[in-house]
Chain A
Amino acid sequence: MASDIHVRRKRKFSKDQWTAIAFLLPSFLLILLFVYGFIGWTGYVSLSNWNTLVPDFSFAGLENYVYLFHDFRFQSDLRNTLFFTVLFIGLVIIFGMGLAILIDQKLKGESIYRNIFLFPMALSFIVTGVVWQWLLNPSTGFNQFLGAFGIHPKWYTDTNILAGFEWGSIEFGLPVAIIAVVIAAVWQMTGFSLAMYLAGLRGIPDELREAARMDGASEFQIYRKVILPMLMPITVSIVIIMAHISLKIFDLIYAMTGSGANFVTDVPAMYMFEATFRGHYYANGAAIAIIMLLLVAIFIVPYLWNSRKGDS
């Protein structure tokens, strides 16, 4: 193995490779500086005392982090993120897979269905947020329609927490208001998982199904034992992609509910924005940003590790 690498190094680069390296280098250096450099900078700020308009880089240690974990708002943020992520990913997978399986039944006009389900993905979250905010708004939307029948749903004004229990000072359980946001997010992203699953289903050779049928398996069993296991890599990809979206979600919530009463729909990105740009708590904001980065890393790093192993 080691000698192999040694031999490789000695070999000269071809002209094409030199060109590639020459052209990759600028963007490589820029990314090094503007992405990784700034991550480092944010980490540095998060350890400082810079919580006013005037920069103050004196060392504060982990003070900003300690503050956050004692802060009611940040505790709510972590709880909301957890429940949002679980519900959002779960529903996107269930709906996406269900629709993909239905569309895969070789029905007529398939491309029409595909386009209809894919379309919401063409919108940005901020647009989805505004649309759903209108739909759920008590004076303009869907609620007024229901109101004509005497039903007055509270949607995201609700401050209740379902199946709640207290753990220390944090009230755990699913905030009802989060459901409204999850509905909008799922509406937007289901098309994506549908497309992924459909591609996966199309990649499964017919011979496999035929073979299973020959062995006397029912259609249900074929899906259960043959197709679903083969879709596993796709599910993993969807979880990774959805997880990083949901851990960083900002625009949808900003447009739809804001922080919500009692912060029931607040998320770290909202808090980070308000702390940094409204309160000028730069160090606190940076600490939130770093925590968000770490949360995403929990999902992404094992995946990258895994696929790297797969490469070699």
Chain B
Amino acid sequence: MKKWLGIIALFSLVFALAACSDSSDGSGGDSDGGGESASGKVEIFSWWTGAGEEDGLLALIDLFKEEYPDIEVENAAVAGGAGTNAKAVLATRMQGDDPPSTFQVHGGAELNEGWVAADKMEPLDDFYKENDWMDKFPEELIDLVSSDGHIWSVPVDIHRGNVIFYNMKVFEENGVKVPTTFDEFFEAADKLKAAGVVPLALGDKESWTATQVFENVLLGVLGPDDYQKLFAGEIALDDAQVVEAAEKFKKILGYVNEDHASRNWQDSAQLVANGEAAMINMGDWAKGYFVNDLDMETNKDFGYFAFPDTKGDFVVITDTFGLPKGIENPKEVKKFLTLLGSVEGQDTFNPLKGSIPARVDADPSKYDQYGKDTMEDFKNARLVPSLAHGSAASAGFLTKVNQAVNIFVTQGDVDNFIQALTNASSEM
């Protein structure tokens, strides 16, 4: 009996102590200012844990350590595709007044209507001027990371969302040419379907992939100006053009693989790789997957073209890093941000990640043919924010759109879909 009591007592003591030290940790974090002890540490929060992206991040950290050996770097990456888990962790930390030194956030609504609107970020206007960055990034990109007349973060990479990758052999065998308009696309799709090939691979186990197809259809139908107006609330979501886009989207869904709901995007990209399917709409991280994981060769095994009717437009997905309010050592963090925004930093990071640099004056010779082509497009194209990746509208709206898309993909009821989008628009 005595012995048992002792053991139990010990356990409850340990539990109590653990709980206490935990809570004191939390309160230690939010005491801002001062901070002489932890000042030499920069904590970098991201969701870059996958192949390629992690290599890029580590190379960047190495570069930083070379330049500033005295500053300790903590890589606080949280695994999970597209930041699904990291964003949850970040929200908890920010609300608990325990922000990381700097964190990855998509430029656009995710930054502006999320953390900036919540008054959790420091403006970076002077920082941009100090570094002479104002004309090094495209104006539309700086707009994307600005709101209320201030700049809030530093873009490090650019991904393009309106690309279709295709299996060149399948196209050749079936005599299909690269389609540039919706009409040509449907014509090609019919031809492929008749030949027993799935025209478009889709893996919407997570519904953002289907939402991404929908946003590209929207862009194709509305054009870049009206697309921007739509998410600025100047065009209603039950506008005739949106209805037309929904109908086109429905038609496209008729050409996808039957088992799309059980595949993720990698699983569906495999269909294209092995020739069961001809095309896939994916951001250009799919190129990294084709080249690095599936051993395919660019412009030999697979090719790429802009989503129908969106040539000359560029759906931007940009990873950026900002400066949260209330951190202990903004000076050291700014050193890291300077590196992120430098040509050297961007050219170290992006070739490994498979993205292109956000700066227009980076060195194209460091990138493969796909990168060079995309960099060229990026310079000349109209840039629009991506909905599926949280840049065009708030996270709340996106969650509801994903739900509406999930239902639409099976039910195919255009009226219901438009109704659901309209209901969600109050969250935009």
Residues of A whose CB lies within 8 Å of any CB of B are 16, 19-20, 23-24, 26-27, 30, 34, 51-55, 72-73, 136-139, 154-157, 159, 257-263, 273-281
Residue of A nearest to B90 (CB): A277
Bound together, the chains give a CA A280 to CA B207 distance in angstroms of: 17
Is the pair B84, A278 in contact by a Cβ cutoff of 8 Å? yes
Residue of B nearest to A278 (CB): B399
* Known A138-B267, A157-B260, A279-B395; further 7 A-B contacts with Cβ < 8 A: A53-B395, A137-B262, A137-B263, A159-B410, A257-B262, A258-B206, A280-B395
Residue of A nearest to B92 (CB): A277
Give B402-425 as 1s and 0s: 1 = Cβ < 8 Å from A's Cβ atoms.
010011011100000000000000
Q: DSSP majority for the A interface?
A: helix
The answer, yes or no, to whether B39 is at the interface (CB within 8 Å) is no
Contacts A/B (CB < 8 Å), 26 sampled: A19-B5, A19-B9, A23-B5, A23-B12, A23-B13, A26-B13, A30-B15, A30-B16, A51-B396, A53-B114, A73-B403, A137-B267, A139-B263, A155-B262, A156-B262, A257-B262, A261-B204, A261-B260, A261-B409, A274-B399, A277-B87, A277-B91, A279-B398, A279-B399, A279-B400, A280-B91
Is the pair A278, B87 in contact by a Cβ cutoff of 8 Å? yes
The answer, yes or no, to whether B88 is at the interface (CB within 8 Å) is yes
Chain B residues within 8 Å of A139, by CB: 263, 267, 270-271
**Which of A73, A157, A273 has its CB near the most chain B CB atoms (within 10 A)?**
A157
Chain A residues within 8 Å of B396, by CB: 51-52, 279-281
A16-B5, A54-B117 known; A259+B270 contact, CB < 8 A: no
Contact partner of B262 (CB less than 8 A), chosen from A27, A157, A276, is A157
Residues 187-208 of B contacting A (Cβ, < 8 Å): 204-207
Contact partner of B406 (CB less than 8 A), chosen from A23, A54, A55, A262, is A262
Is the pair B115, A53 in contact by a Cβ cutoff of 8 Å? yes
Bound together, the chains give a CA A23 to CA B16 distance in angstroms of: 10
The answer, yes or no, to whether B118 is at the interface (CB within 8 Å) is yes
Is the pair B411, A278 in contact by a Cβ cutoff of 8 Å? no
* CB of B30 to closest CB in A, whole Å: 15
Is the pair B117, A16 in contact by a Cβ cutoff of 8 Å? no
Bound together, the chains give a CA A154 to CA B16 distance in angstroms of: 51
A19-B5, A55-B95, A157-B258 known; A30+B267 contact, CB < 8 A: no
Residues 78-113 of B contacting A (Cβ, < 8 Å): 84, 87-88, 91, 95
Chain B residues within 8 Å of A260, by CB: 261
Residue of B nearest to A133 (CB): B262
Chain A residues within 8 Å of B205, by CB: 257-258
Chain A residues within 8 Å of B19, by CB: 30, 34
The answer, yes or no, to whether B232 is at the interface (CB within 8 Å) is no
The answer, yes or no, to whether B259 is at the interface (CB within 8 Å) is yes
Is the pair B399, A281 in contact by a Cβ cutoff of 8 Å? yes
Is the pair B410, A16 in contact by a Cβ cutoff of 8 Å? no
Contact partner of A27 (CB less than 8 A), chosen from B16, B84, B410, is B16
A30-B15, A262-B411 known; A159+B261 contact, CB < 8 A: yes
Give B357-398 as 1s and 0s: 1 = Cβ < 8 Å from A's Cβ atoms.
000000000000000000000000000000000000001101
* CB of A141 to closest CB in B, whole Å: 10
Chain A residues within 8 Å of B12, by CB: 23-24, 26-27
Is the pair A23, B8 in contact by a Cβ cutoff of 8 Å? yes
Chain A residues within 8 Å of B411, by CB: 262
Is the pair A20, B5 in contact by a Cβ cutoff of 8 Å? yes
The 7 closest A-B pairs by CB, nearest first: A279-B399, A277-B88, A261-B261, A262-B410, A23-B9, A26-B16, A157-B262
Residue of B nearest to A177 (CB): B261
Chain A residues within 8 Å of B260, by CB: 157, 261
* CB of B414 to closest CB in A, whole Å: 16
The answer, yes or no, to whether B1 is at the interface (CB within 8 Å) is yes
Chain B residues within 8 Å of A154, by CB: 258-259
Chain A residues within 8 Å of B271, by CB: 139
Bound together, the chains give a CA A26 to CA B8 distance in angstroms of: 12
* CB of B206 to closest CB in A, whole Å: 6
Chain A residues within 8 Å of B87, by CB: 277-278
Residue of B nearest to A26 (CB): B16
* CB of A171 to closest CB in B, whole Å: 11
Chain A residues within 8 Å of B8, by CB: 23
